[in-house]
Amino acid sequence: MAAANTTTATAAKKVILAPMVRTGELPTRLLSLKYGADMVWGPEIVDKAIIGCKRVINKRTGTIDFVKPSGGARGEEKVVFRTHPEIEGGKVVFQMGTANAELAVEAAKVLVSRGEDGEREGGTVVAGVDVNSGCPKHFSIHAGMGAGLLKNPDNLVAILTSLVTQIGIPHSLPISVKIRLLEPHSETLKLVERLCTTGIYRLTLHCRTIPQRPRDPAIRDVLADVANICHAAGVECIANGDVLSRSHALQLCDEYGVDGCMIARAAEVNMSVFLPDKPLPWKEIADEFVKTAVKIESHFTNTKFVLGRIIPGKDPIYQKVHQAKTHEQICDILGIPYEPLSPAIVEEMSVEGKATTKAVEKAKSVSATARAAGGVVAPRKEGRKLAERGVGSAANLKAAAEREAEIATVAIPEQASVSV
């Protein structure tokens, strides 16, 4: 026990972006890493959502996208998970919602598959797979996922054991789990002891019980005991709940002997809480967030939702952003340049790594002819589809931006994101 604690004490403590529904998409993760987060968790994605996805190398954004047909009449594809390997490599953990060991393994295989192209870009693109066993929301519990797994520990153990043996060990990929407190707390310790026998690399304790909500204060009475159990088994222990900043996280690490802390609500309001000093002004964070979202072509409604957390509700800018319908309008409101990706980068990479060369060259040719004649390139019907998928001329891209207005009618929700 003493040896385990000594090793933990000398190891670098991690300050981590917690998994959060909607807020934890790529722009938030990239900005958190920019301001000093040691690791970032993606938002929970259900196993069946990632199963069947194909891996697309997105040359425009520098990302790797896992996409699948959306089921629409136009045959469009939906990005289920997007990661930026150059920035997030070795630091992003994929959090999975699951209630079935076989589905969990099938889903994880998508993340470690080299894909059909067999290129060097293939292979694992995440730093771990985390099983969400803490979300208290109905959509998770009613399906036996999230905190519902805490009521069925046999199933949770089976899921973790299968992931460790079939994914973790063969691919050297850390498997972890995030849980909540059980009542009485002695049940928490029993569960942790059992989970640590599955071969997991890391365990995160959200220091609240299942019925508790973010407004309820975190309970840390058994955190040190949980950390000791984990360390005795060679498992990392991370704490979550009411962590306000990097300095606060490191203080909690020293006080309770954990290996790191996750920051949730404080980070969704201001990603610079990962800095060693005081956070930056919200305006600076809002500007950087929007610039990042535009560069990686993030979905407009997600940008608008996250800004609803960053911008103070009483500030006049809040209502203006609330009424905005495109990224360009938001940039104008914030007083920052709108700088989408260069339309010259029109190469789309399929899962086989081949570009749609004919469509690209045709778009270039039409654009050049129109410009030479002094006219405006009118987006063709098929060009609209290409623009939506990241391929097209400058006019196609402009048309795509205008179409954001058609789908961006969702108001900024007042409900805060859920840390899972």
Per-residue pLDDT of 330-372, as tens digits, reads 999 999 999 998 654 434 333 333 333 333 343 334 334 333 4
Please spell the DSSP secondary structure of 256-286, one letter per residue: H--SEEEE-HHHHH-GGGGSSSPPPPHHHHH
Tell whether 306 and 261 lie within a shared domain. no
Q: Could you tell me the CA-to-CA distances from 71 to 22, 58, 75, 78, 350 in Å, in that order?
A: 21, 21, 7, 9, 19
The reported pLDDT for the residue numbered 413 is: 37
Tell whether 40 and 165 lie within a shared domain. yes
- At 172, which amino acid appears? S
Q: Find the length of the chain.
A: 420
pLDDT > 70 fraction of the chain, expressed in percent and rounded: 76
C-alpha angle with apex 382: 379 to 383, nearest 5 degrees?
40
Q: State how far the Cα of 20 lies from the Cα of 22, in Å rounded to an integer.
A: 6
Tell whether 107 and 244 lie within a shared domain. yes
| Residue 331: both structure tokens together | 């940039």
Q: Provide the pairing of β-strand 45-46 with 92-97.
A: parallel
Tell whether 190 and 323 lie within a shared domain. no
The reported pLDDT for the residue numbered 5 is: 36
The reported pLDDT for the residue numbered 122 is: 58
Residue 56: enclosing H or E segment and its boundaries?
strand 54-58
How many CB atoms lie under 10 A from the CB of residue 67? 19
Mean pLDDT confidence for 265-291: 97
Mean pLDDT (the chain) is 82
Residue 117 reports pLDDT greater than 70: no
Residue 19 lies in a domain: yes
196 noted as active-site residue: no
Q: State how far the Cα of 92 lies from the Cα of 84, in Å rounded to an integer.
A: 9
Q: State how far the Cα of 118 lies from the Cα of 98, in Å rounded to an integer.
A: 28
Domain count, the chain: 3
The reported pLDDT for the residue numbered 300 is: 96
Mean pLDDT confidence for 61-83: 87
Tell whether 267 and 288 lie within a shared domain. no
Tell whether 139 and 286 lie within a shared domain. no
- pTM for this prediction: 0.80
The reported pLDDT for the residue numbered 346 is: 36
How many CB atoms lie under 10 A from the CB of residue 194? 14
Residue ending a domain, choose from 223, 258, 274:
274
Q: Could you tell me the CA-to-CA distances from 148 to 178, 251, 341 in Å, in that order?
A: 12, 32, 43
Residue ending a domain, choose from 255, 274, 293:
274
Tell whether 82 and 176 lie within a shared domain. yes
* DSSP 8-state class, residue 225: H
Q: Could you tell me the CA-to-CA distances from 400 to 136, 384, 389 in Å, in that order?
A: 38, 7, 10
pLDDT band at 195 (very low <50, low <70, confident <90, very high): very high
Residue ending a domain, choose from 274, 301, 326:
274
| Residue 307: both structure tokens together | 């800004």
Exposed e or buried b for every residue in 44-66, given b needs 16+ CB within 10 A?
A: bbbbebbbebbbbbbebbebbbb
Domain containing residue 185: CATH number: 3.20.20.70
Mean pLDDT confidence for 410-418: 41
Residue 313 lies in a domain: yes
pLDDT band at 306 (very low <50, low <70, confident <90, very high): very high
Per-residue pLDDT of 172-187, as tens digits, reads 999 999 999 999 999 9
Per-residue pLDDT of 128-146, as tens digits, reads 999 999 988 887 888 899 9
Tell whether 183 and 311 lie within a shared domain. no
Per-residue pLDDT of 197-251, as tens digits, reads 999 999 999 999 999 998 999 999 999 999 999 999 999 999 999 999 999 999 9
pLDDT > 90 fraction of the chain, expressed in percent and rounded: 70
| Residue 317: both structure tokens together | 């800018």
Domain span including residue 373: 357-406
* DSSP 8-state class, residue 148: G
The reported pLDDT for the residue numbered 140 is: 85
Burial of 120 (C-beta count, 10 Å sphere; 0-12/13-18/19+):
exposed
The reported pLDDT for the residue numbered 76 is: 79
Tell whether 239 and 311 lie within a shared domain. no
Residue 172 lies in a domain: yes
Residue 291 lies in a domain: yes
SS3 28: helix
Tell whether 8 and 47 lie within a shared domain. yes
Tell whether 7 and 68 lie within a shared domain. yes
Gap between the terminal Cα atoms of the chain = 30
53, 135, 237, 331: the active-site residue: 135
Tell whether 115 and 61 lie within a shared domain. yes
Residue 269 lies in a domain: yes
Residue 417 lies in a domain: no
Residue 108 lies in a domain: yes
How many CB atoms lie under 10 A from the CB of residue 137? 14
